[in-house]
């Protein structure tokens, strides 16, 4: 009804849903693949192979999460150039991002042995698990150029306001990955190395398919401008600046959750298991809300590029409305069926009993976390990466760590969760308070 009565309300909200829903669907294909790989090893291999998958995946999650700026930075810059109809710079942004993504991927291949040695030093596994993890790593690392290159393609397409192609590409790549894993494990009697090989092949298939889709749908963009202008000038400096800031911000986020897990282990093995399961609740939330955060990236960048103040502000309000509405649904789910959800992750009654007293932290998380998630998307879309980097450093160093060291000796695991909650709360508050200077003032710089 509202879509009929208020056309402007309808237009912006249709754009938000057109961008958010495909991203939510593609986001959830990632954990489903991980769950299937775990089940495959759990049923058709031994516990050592299952451990190798867990440790190998953790290594690659750490590596690739750090290079997520290729997706985020590319989205914000592309959306702004697309908003002001600068076809040349949209194409150049893709060229730059893809080139540096592939180069970094090749560098990871060259440095594979030092990376593996450091990873093995940090991992405390049995000799067989470490051997299997090494085999898994050395196969899967060969796909680094494809994996990081796909980040650039996804980011560019989202900046072009196209969420359908990234969704199709992600789902098809993950389904091929799953199919290859079953073939290599069940038909060729491979174990964790078969899962790594399936992943590597699927990633290159995804990259080639992504390039083919770009050429099919956007080749009219790629004949504009001089190739000599791609890797020089202030645009290249701007890209490096944005990506550097997002990289630092991401490192802080990686540190926060890695530290959380490490300190959970220092409390007890039971608390490590409890917190690992409870973090899955927040992961589910982040996959869902991230759809609206990405919609915010794309739309804020586009309307900022166009310099349309009213629609720019409306897009921010509506993205928050949708995101917070979804967060409220998660709050209700965690409140009413949180204990039942615990049993989906473990059948150990001792762990579920130990986790129950900490469920109220999970109930508080959706609303608080979502404010930070959505602002992240908006700041990326406005390429206000320096401000986002600064708030992350402040929240990590001045809030998270001090609260942990003050409260954990007194409250134990509750102190650890309090530190994480206040970390997320401070992120949202700082981004909200500084949004007038860092986000809305961007319109003035555009001359509106």
* 247 pLDDT more than 70: yes
How many whole angstroms separate alpha carbon 129 and alpha carbon 114? 19
Backbone dihedral angles phi then psi of residue 6, each to the nearest 5 degrees: -120, 95
- Quote the pLDDT of residue 399: 97
The lowest-confidence range among 149-158, 224-233, 257-266, 342-351 is 224-233
225 band by pLDDT with thresholds 50, 70 and 90: low
CB 388, CB 431: distance < 8 Å: yes
- What percent of the chain is predicted at pLDDT more than 90? 48
How many whole angstroms separate alpha carbon 296 and alpha carbon 16? 8
The lowest-confidence range among 76-80, 105-109, 119-123, 272-276 is 119-123
How many whole angstroms separate alpha carbon 174 and alpha carbon 169? 8
333 band by pLDDT with thresholds 50, 70 and 90: very high
- Its pTM stands at 0.87
- Quote the pLDDT of residue 297: 93
How high does pLDDT run on average in the chain? 86
Q: In 3-state terms, what secondary structure has residue 58?
A: helix
Q: How far is CA 351 from CA 81, 265, 270, 276, 346, in A?
A: 51, 14, 7, 11, 8
* 144-159 helix and 47-66 helix, angle to the nearest 10 degrees: 50
């Amino acid at each position: 009804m509202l879509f009929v009565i208020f056309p402007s309300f309808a237009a912006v909200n249709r754009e938000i849903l057109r961008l958010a829903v495909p991203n939510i669907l593609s986001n959830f294909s990632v954990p489903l693949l991980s769950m299937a790989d775990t089940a495959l090893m759990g049923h058709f291999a031994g516990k050592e192979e299952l451990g190798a998958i867990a440790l190998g995946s953790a290594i690659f999650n750490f590596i690739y999460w750090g290079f997520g700026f290729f997706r985020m930075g590319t989205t914000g810059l592309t959306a702004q150039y697309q908003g002001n109809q600068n076809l040349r710079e949209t194409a150049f942004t893709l060229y730059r991002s893809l080139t540096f993504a592939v180069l970094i991927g090749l560098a990871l291949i060259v440095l594979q042995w030092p990376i593996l040695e450091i990873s093995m030093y940090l991992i405390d596994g049995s000799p067989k698990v470490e051997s299997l993890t090494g085999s898994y790593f050395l196969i899967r690392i060969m796909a680094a150029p494809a994996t990081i290159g796909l980040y650039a393609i996804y980011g560019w397409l989202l900046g072009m306001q196209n969420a359908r192609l990234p969704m199709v590409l992600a789902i098809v790549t993950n389904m091929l990955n799953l199919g290859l894993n079953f073939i290599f494990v069940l038909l060729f009697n491979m174990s964790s190395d078969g899962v790594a090989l399936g992943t590597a092949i699927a990633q290159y298939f995804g990259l080639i398919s992504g390039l083919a889709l770009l050429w099919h749908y956007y080749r009219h963009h790629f004949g504009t401008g001089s190739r000599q202008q791609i890797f020089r000038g202030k645009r290249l400096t701007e890209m490096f600046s944005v990506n550097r800031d997002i990289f630092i911000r991401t490192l802080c986020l990686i540190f926060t959750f890695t530290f959380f897990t490490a300190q959970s282990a220092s409390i007890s093995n039971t608390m490590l298991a409890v917190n690992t399961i409870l973090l899955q609740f927040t992961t589910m939330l982040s996959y869902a809300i991230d759809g609206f955060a990405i919609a915010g990236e794309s739309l804020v960048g586009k309307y900022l590029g166009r310099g349309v103040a009213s629609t720019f502000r409306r897009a921010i309000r509506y993205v928050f409305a949708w995101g917070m509405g979804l967060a409220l649904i998660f709050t209700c789910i965690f409140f009413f069926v949180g204990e039942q959800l615990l049993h989906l992750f473990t059948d150990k009654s001792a762990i579920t009993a130990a986790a129950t007293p900490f469920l109220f932290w999970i109930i508080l998380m959706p609303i608080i976390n979502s404010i930070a998630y959505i602002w992240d998307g908006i700041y990326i879309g406005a390429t206000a990466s320096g401000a986002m980097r600064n708030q992350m450093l402040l929240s990590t160093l001045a809030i998270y760590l001090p609260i942990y060291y003050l409260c954990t000796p007194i409250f134990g695991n509750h102190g650890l969760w309090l530190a994480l909650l206040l970390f997320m709360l401070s992120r949202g508050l700082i981004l909200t308070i500084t949004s007038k200077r860092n986000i809305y003032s961007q319109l003035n710089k555009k001359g509106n």
